[in-house]
């Protein structure tokens, strides 16, 4: 490989890989993109800053938001990669370690490891003529045909400043730094934010802290992990033919019946209908609230030395505040001009295609109301189909380019998502799939088929690496 590499180095020390696509990140999105590129014989390489695959699911990947007690939030039945079910012995909601193993086995089975360059942090990507110049932390420079950004959305903590925090005597941590409940021993802990991570972390505090509190700004609908013995997403899956407004009505009533009135537990009443925010799938928190192991508090007003004063006027002595206040999305290795950022989210066609720059794609820059990986697979297949059509000068490529520039589909399935940054690129899974499928059919690009990736399980580096000098690095 060294030999090949030297031959590929141009005058300015740039390694010419200009027939090859470059994926940044070997998390779930990068892995599924790699499988689709292999499937369509599109030459590619993956750069990964960490020493293994799995993205955030590797708790040892520096900066990962994973914590020891984390389990999947969507169930294993609807969260697997296409044509790659999770093992039978896995529980309905696997642990973070099981999910990590699942990703690693996926990468092994489809022979993706040889295409990944580990311990390679991407510093900077710029356009150079019609190609893309990629600079690594080792100051290596590569020229690629195209880029797929797949570096995830949960690396840069959104940490609001709290009034009085400079003189606060306790500790303040963002949830990205929370790993183990041992941290809570003997402390009075306040978790801020009731997203899925916030709820999980509060439950850890419930059984380990001296006293746990959760501060919420608004009321949420808490969906139990199981409904009538079935995982919640499996229970809801059969009802996709029902219009969303009916589902909202029926599910809303069912939830009231199953969970009851949460305002009795000190939580505010939701100011929106069910499904209008990212679902909180958690029944444990309600259990702990009902047992007094967690006490619900309103929004924080200010910090007063060793205490927190809440907007309802109450005051609690607190040793540790965990801010489960989410993440700022960023693509830090690319200048802002390459992506149009709206409400902190990149504006991309179908959340994938850059409208202004050719051969610049992103996968994983969206949130949705269910397991993401099958969707990632379908999205990766769409990107690879477009690249293939362009390569073969198929007329559909031009047609699709026009859509990238002009088409502005609504992908909310007529659900009025809350008007917040988080929901600005939030897609309704059913509406997205329906629309993507319609466009794909129009282009004549096939949907994924069961068994389509099987041939990739047999690795033949000579016929499959397409001559990429990096493709045979391991």
Binding site for ligand FAD (CB under 6 A): 24-30, 47-50, 55-57, 61, 65, 70, 72-74, 79, 121-122, 150-152, 154, 197, 333, 364, 371-373
By beta-carbon proximity to ligand FAD, the closer residue of 56 and 384 is 56
Q: How far is the CB of 431 from ligand FAD (least distance, A)?
A: 17
Q: How far is the CB of 258 from ligand FAD (least distance, A)?
A: 21
In angstroms, the Cα distances linking 354 to 29, 183, 437 are 17, 43, 19
By beta-carbon proximity to ligand FAD, the closer residue of 39 and 233 is 233
Quote the CA–CA distance of 172 and 148 in Å, as a whole number: 36
Q: Are 214 and 206 in contact (CB under 8 A)?
A: no
By beta-carbon proximity to ligand FAD, the closer residue of 179 and 317 is 179
Q: How far is the CB of 147 from ligand FAD (least distance, A)?
A: 12
Residue 277: phi, psi to the nearest 5?
A: -130, 165
- Structure tokens belonging to residue 232: 């919640």
- Structure tokens belonging to residue 392: 């073969």
- What is the distance in angstroms between the CA of the first residue and the CA of the last residue of the chain? 9
Q: How far is the CB of 47 from ligand FAD (least distance, A)?
A: 5
In angstroms, the Cα distances linking 240 to 143, 177, 434 are 45, 38, 11
The DSSP call for residue 65 is: -
Quote the CA–CA distance of 210 and 429 in Å, as a whole number: 41
The DSSP call for residue 424 is: T
Quote the CA–CA distance of 190 and 301 in Å, as a whole number: 14
By beta-carbon proximity to ligand FAD, the closer residue of 31 and 389 is 31
Sign of CA dihedral 384, 368, 158, 99: negative
Longest Cα separation, the chain = 71
Beta bridge partners of 323: 174, 192
Q: How far is the CB of 196 from ligand FAD (least distance, A)?
A: 6
By beta-carbon proximity to ligand FAD, the closer residue of 288 and 373 is 373
The DSSP call for residue 455 is: G
Q: How far is the CB of 278 from ligand FAD (least distance, A)?
A: 11
Total length of the chain: 474
By beta-carbon proximity to ligand FAD, the closer residue of 104 and 390 is 104
By beta-carbon proximity to ligand FAD, the closer residue of 134 and 300 is 134
In angstroms, the Cα distances linking 137 to 4, 111, 117, 121, 134 are 21, 26, 12, 5, 10
By beta-carbon proximity to ligand FAD, the closer residue of 368 and 388 is 368
Sign of CA dihedral 403, 373, 100, 176: positive
By beta-carbon proximity to ligand FAD, the closer residue of 22 and 308 is 22
Quote the CA–CA distance of 336 and 72 in Å, as a whole number: 33
Q: How far is the CB of 46 from ligand FAD (least distance, A)?
A: 9
Q: How far is the CB of 266 from ligand FAD (least distance, A)?
A: 25
* Cα angle 112, 113, 119; round to 5: 130
Q: How far is the CB of 401 from ligand FAD (least distance, A)?
A: 25
By beta-carbon proximity to ligand FAD, the closer residue of 140 and 401 is 140
Q: How far is the CB of 441 from ligand FAD (least distance, A)?
A: 26
The DSSP call for residue 22 is: E
Q: How far is the CB of 357 from ligand FAD (least distance, A)?
A: 18
Q: Are 161 and 168 in contact (CB under 8 A)?
A: no
Quote the CA–CA distance of 238 and 232 in Å, as a whole number: 11
Q: How far is the CB of 120 from ligand FAD (least distance, A)?
A: 6
By beta-carbon proximity to ligand FAD, the closer residue of 170 and 326 is 326
Look at strands 280-281 and 131-136 and give their pairing: unpaired
By beta-carbon proximity to ligand FAD, the closer residue of 195 and 413 is 195
- Structure tokens belonging to residue 161: 């400043």
Beta bridge partners of 24: 47, 149
């Amino acid at each position: 490989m060294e030999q090949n590499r030297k031959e590929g180095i141009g005058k300015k020390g740039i390694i010419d890989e200009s027939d090859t696509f470059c994926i940044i990140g070997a998390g779930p999105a990068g892995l599924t993109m790699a499988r689709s590129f292999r499937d369509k014989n599109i030459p590619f390489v993956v750069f990964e800053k960490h020493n293994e695959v799995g993205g955030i699911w590797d708790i040892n990947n520096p900066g990962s938001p994973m914590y020891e007690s984390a389990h999947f939030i969507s169930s294993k039945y609807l969260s697997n990669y296409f044509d790659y079910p999770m093992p039978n012995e896995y529980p309905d909601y696997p642990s973070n370690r099981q999910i990590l193993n699942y990703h690693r086995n996926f990468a092994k089975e489809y022979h993706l490891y040889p295409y990944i360059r580990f311990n390679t942090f991407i510093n900077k990507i710029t356009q150079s003529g019609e190609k893309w110049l990629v600079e690594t932390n080792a100051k290596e420079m590569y020229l690629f045909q195209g880029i797929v950004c797949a570096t995830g959305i949960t690396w840069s903590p959104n940490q609001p400043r709290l009034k009085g925090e400079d003189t606060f005597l306790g500790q303040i941590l963002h949830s990205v730094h929370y790993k183990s409940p041992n941290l809570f021993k003997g402390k009075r802990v306040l978790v801020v934010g009731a997203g899925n991570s916030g709820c999980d972390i509060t439950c850890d505090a419930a059984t380990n802290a001296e006293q746990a509190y959760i501060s919420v700004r608004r009321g949420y609908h808490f969906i139990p992990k199981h409904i009538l013995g079935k995982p919640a997403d499996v229970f809801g899956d059969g009802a996709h033919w029902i219009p969303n407004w009916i589902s909202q009505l029926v599910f809303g009533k069912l939830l009231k019946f199953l969970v009851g009135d949460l305002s009795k537990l000190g939580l505010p009443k939701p100011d929106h209908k069910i499904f209008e925010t990212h679902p909180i799938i958690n029944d444990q928190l309600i259990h702990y609230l009902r047992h007094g192991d967690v006490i619900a508090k309103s929004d924080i007003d200010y910090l007063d030395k060793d205490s927190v004063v809440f907007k309802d006027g109450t005051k609690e002595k607190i040793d540790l505040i965990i801010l489960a206040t989410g993440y700022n999305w960023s693509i830090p290795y690319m200048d802002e001009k390459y992506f149009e950022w709206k409400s902190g989210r990149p504006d991309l066609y179908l959340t994938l295609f850059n409208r202004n720059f050719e051969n610049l794609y992103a996968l994983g820059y969206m949130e949705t109301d269910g397991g993401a990986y099958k969707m990632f697979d379908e999205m990766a297949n769409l990107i690879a189909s477009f690249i293939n059509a362009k390569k073969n000068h198929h007329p559909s490529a031009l047609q699709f380019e026009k859509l990238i520039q002009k088409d502005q589909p609504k992908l909310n399935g007529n659900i009025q998502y809350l008007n917040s940054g988080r929901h600005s690129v939030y897609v309704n899974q059913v509406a997205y799939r329906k629309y993507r499928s319609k466009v794909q059919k129009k282009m004549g690009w096939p949907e994924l088929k069961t068994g389509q990736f099987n041939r990739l399980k047999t690795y033949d580096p000579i016929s499959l690496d397409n001559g990429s000098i990096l493709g045979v690095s391991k």
